[in-house]
Chains A and B, each alone.
Chain A
C-alpha cells in the first residue's frame, strides 16, 4: 500500500508534462520581457514610427472588431437559434479562416478585393481602395477575427435558453425587444469576451496583412521589418511593447469571463 501524501508515478508524469508545456509558452514570453529593460521600453514608447504603427494597429483592430460584431452577431444568433437549409455549410464557411494559412488568406483576399477583381474594382469606383491601403489592413484582420467573434457569440446565444425569450414574448415583447432586453444581456459577457479575443487576434495578425497592405505598417509587420533589417536588438523593445498590450487584453478577458459560469462565449446559465 502506498503511503498517504506520496503521489503515484502517473500523477508525477502528468504534472511533468503539464509543466513542460507551461514553461514552453511562458519561457519565451518571460525572456522577451526580461530582455527589454525599462529604458529600452521607454525608448520604444518615444519611437514615433512604432507609436504610429501601434496606433494604426489599435484603430484597425477596433474597426475590424466592430465590423465583426455588426456582421457576426446577427449571423451568430441565426446559427444558434434557427435551423435553416445550409446552416451547417454557413457555419463551416465562417470557421474556414481558422484552418487556412494566413498568407493563403492574404492571397485570396488580394484576388477578391484587388483592383482586377469585380468586387475590388466596384469598391475602387466607390472610392474605397483596399489593397495597400488601411482598409486592406482591416480586411485582413476581419477575415481572421470574424470566426472567433461569431463562434463566441454563437455559443453565448446557445447558452441562453430560448424559453427566456418566449416568456418575454408572452409578456408583450416583440422579437427584437426580447433579444435586446433578455437575450443580449444574458449572452453579453460571452459576446464581449469573443470581441476582445477577436480584437487581440486582429492585433496579432501578420500573414494576410503583409500581402494585402505592407504599408502603412501595423505593429506586427513593423517588428518583422526591424528584425529583418536591423536584427534582433532592434525588434525586441517593439515586440515587448506589443506583448504588454496583448497581456493587458488577456487580463481584460479574464475579468470579463471569470470562472462564474461565464466561459468563453458563455452567457449566464
Chain B
C-alpha cells in the first residue's frame, strides 16, 4: 500500500503541495498530468530521493517519510531507464539482489530474464539495446530484489506504439502475477484506462482529481481535468433552472447555454458552469430523430473526420460551436459521412456532464 498524506516537496522553483493519494495493497495506481506538473518529483519523493517539506509517506502501512531510499524497499524505473552503462544486462538485473549467494542471484536473474524474454541478452552490454529491451531490463532490475512496491516513471514514453501495447500488457500481467503495489506516472490517459485501479490527475504540483479511471473520465471535476484527459468537448456557459429540484437528489431540469447552442441538462446549481460533452454520447444520423427522446437535437455540419483503427472522430460545427462525435468507422461509412455534410445530432440531457 502507498499512502501519501499532504505531501509537500520543493525542487528549485517548483513545489508539490498537499498531495494526498492512496494506492491500495496490490493495486495499480496512476498519476497523470502534463509535463512539468510534478509527476517524477512525486515518485522521487515516495522513493526518498527528495526530502519532504511537509506531509508523510506511508509504504506498507509504515511511515517512511524520513527513511533513506535504500530502506524503503521500492523498485524504481525511470523514463529513460538509466541502465548502468558499465555493467552487462545480467549485472544490471542482479544489482539489487543482496545477501544471497552467487547461485541464488544468478537464478533470480535467469528467472526474470526468462519472464521478460531477456535470456539471450544476459551477457551483453546495455549499449545498443532497443528501447523495448532496455525497458525490460530496467523492469527486471527493479523487480529482482522482490520489492513489494514498484514506481514507474513514464515507462512507455520512449518506445514505439507497438512495443508500448505489448509492454503495457506484459506489465499488467506481471503486476497481477507478482501482486506488487504499483504507481506509474504518465501523461497518457490511455495507460490509466487500461492499467489503473486508481488514478490521480496532477496539475501544477497539486492533485486536481483522484478516483477510479472510469469515474475521473466520466465525471471530471474541472475543465482542466476534462480537457487534459480528453473526456470530450468542454463548453463554457450558463445554467438556467427549468423545473423544481427533485426532493431526494436536489437535481432539476435546466438549460445550458453556450453561445448559440442550448442544451437541456440535469443540473444541481444555476449560474456559470462548464459542460462536458463526451464524443461517445453524441448520436449522428442523416435524417431527423423521431420520438420524444433524446431531449437535445440539432443540426450540425461535419468539418473534419479523423479515422483511427476502429473509431472515427467526427468534428462538427453546431451553429458556431465545435463538438466531436466518436463513431465506429463502419458507421461513418454506412452513413456516408464526409466533411461538409449536414447531420442530425442527438444527445441525452443526462449525458451532458456539468462542472
Interface residues of chain A, those whose CB is within 8 Å of chain B, are 161, 163-164, 166-175, 182, 185-186, 268
Knowing A161-B82, A172-B145, A185-B86 are in contact, say whether A167-B76 is a contact too (CB < 8 A).
yes
Q: Are A164 and B84 in contact (CB under 8 A)?
A: yes
Tell me the nearest residue of chain B to A182, going by C-beta.
B84
Q: Determine how close the nearest CB of chain A comes to the CB of B324; give it in whole angstroms.
A: 39
Q: Are A169 and B70 in contact (CB under 8 A)?
A: yes
Interface residue B75 (Cβ < 8 Å from any Cβ of A): yes
Knowing A174-B70, A182-B84 are in contact, say whether A166-B47 is a contact too (CB < 8 A).
yes
Q: Are B96 and A171 in contact (CB under 8 A)?
A: yes
Interface residue B85 (Cβ < 8 Å from any Cβ of A): yes
Measured between alpha carbons, how far is A81 from B98 in the docked complex, in Å?
A: 27
Interface residue B206 (Cβ < 8 Å from any Cβ of A): no
Interchain CB contact (< 8 A) of A166 among B49, B75, B80, B141: B49
Measured between alpha carbons, how far is A155 from B49 in the docked complex, in Å?
A: 22
Q: Are B85 and A186 in contact (CB under 8 A)?
A: yes
Residues in B whose Cβ lies below 8 Å from that of A166: 44, 47, 49, 69, 76, 78
Q: Determine how close the nearest CB of chain B comes to the CB of A167; give it in whole angstroms.
A: 5
Given A169-B68, A170-B69, A170-B70, 6 additional A-B pairs, CB 8 A: A166-B78, A170-B142, A172-B70, A174-B70, A182-B84, A186-B85
Residues in B whose Cβ lies below 8 Å from that of A167: 76, 78, 82, 84, 141
Residues in B whose Cβ lies below 8 Å from that of A164: 82, 84
Tell me the nearest residue of chain B to A177, going by C-beta.
B70
Tell me the nearest residue of chain B to A269, going by C-beta.
B85
Interface residues of chain B, those whose CB is within 8 Å of chain A, are 44, 47-49, 68-70, 72, 74-76, 78, 80, 82, 84-86, 95-96, 98, 141-142, 145, 151
Measured between alpha carbons, how far is A163 from B76 in the docked complex, in Å?
A: 10
Q: How many A-B residue pairs have CB under 8 A?
A: 56
Q: Are B68 and A170 in contact (CB under 8 A)?
A: no
Question: By CB atoms of chain B within 10 A, which of A166, A174, A186, A268 has the most?
Answer: A166
Measured between alpha carbons, how far is A9 from B337 in the docked complex, in Å?
A: 63
Residues in B whose Cβ lies below 8 Å from that of A170: 47, 69-70, 72, 74-76, 96, 142, 151
Q: Are B70 and A173 in contact (CB under 8 A)?
A: yes
Measured between alpha carbons, how far is A169 from B151 in the docked complex, in Å?
A: 14
Q: Are A171 and B145 in contact (CB under 8 A)?
A: yes
Measured between alpha carbons, how far is A161 from B85 in the docked complex, in Å?
A: 12
Q: Are A169 and B86 in contact (CB under 8 A)?
A: no
Residues in B whose Cβ lies below 8 Å from that of A182: 84
Measured between alpha carbons, how far is A174 from B49 in the docked complex, in Å?
A: 12
Q: Which 9 interchain pairs have the tightest Cβ spacing?
A: A171-B96, A169-B69, A170-B76, A166-B49, A163-B82, A185-B86, A172-B70, A167-B82, A172-B96
Q: Determine how close the nearest CB of chain B comes to the CB of A70; give it in whole angstroms.
A: 23
Q: Are B78 and A163 in contact (CB under 8 A)?
A: yes
Tell me the nearest residue of chain B to A185, going by C-beta.
B86
Measured between alpha carbons, how far is A167 from B96 in the docked complex, in Å?
A: 10
Question: By CB atoms of chain A within 10 A, which of B49, B68, B70, B72 has the most?
Answer: B70
Interchain CB contact (< 8 A) of A168 among B44, B74, B95: B95
Knowing A163-B78, A166-B76 are in contact, say whether A268-B69 is a contact too (CB < 8 A).
no
Measured between alpha carbons, how far is A113 from B69 in the docked complex, in Å?
A: 44
Residues in B whose Cβ lies below 8 Å from that of A168: 84, 95
Tell me the nearest residue of chain A to B99, going by C-beta.
A172
Tell me the nearest residue of chain B to A178, going by C-beta.
B70
Residues in B whose Cβ lies below 8 Å from that of A169: 47-49, 68-70
Tell me the nearest residue of chain A to B69, going by C-beta.
A169
Measured between alpha carbons, how far is A163 from B69 in the docked complex, in Å?
A: 13
Residues in A whose Cβ lies below 8 Å from that of B44: 166
Tell me the nearest residue of chain A to B78, going by C-beta.
A163
Tell me the nearest residue of chain A to B95, going by C-beta.
A171
Measured between alpha carbons, how far is A172 from B98 in the docked complex, in Å?
A: 8
Measured between alpha carbons, how far is A57 from B42 in the docked complex, in Å?
A: 54
Residues in A whose Cβ lies below 8 Å from that of B69: 166, 169-170
Q: Determine how close the nearest CB of chain B comes to the CB of A258; give it in whole angstroms.
A: 16
Q: Determine how close the nearest CB of chain B comes to the CB of A190; give it in whole angstroms.
A: 13
- The contact sample of 28 A-B pairs, CB cut-off 8 A, is A163-B80, A164-B82, A166-B44, A166-B47, A166-B49, A166-B76, A166-B78, A167-B84, A168-B84, A169-B47, A169-B48, A169-B68, A169-B70, A170-B70, A170-B72, A170-B75, A170-B76, A170-B96, A171-B96, A171-B141, A171-B142, A172-B70, A172-B96, A172-B98, A172-B145, A174-B68, A175-B68, A186-B85
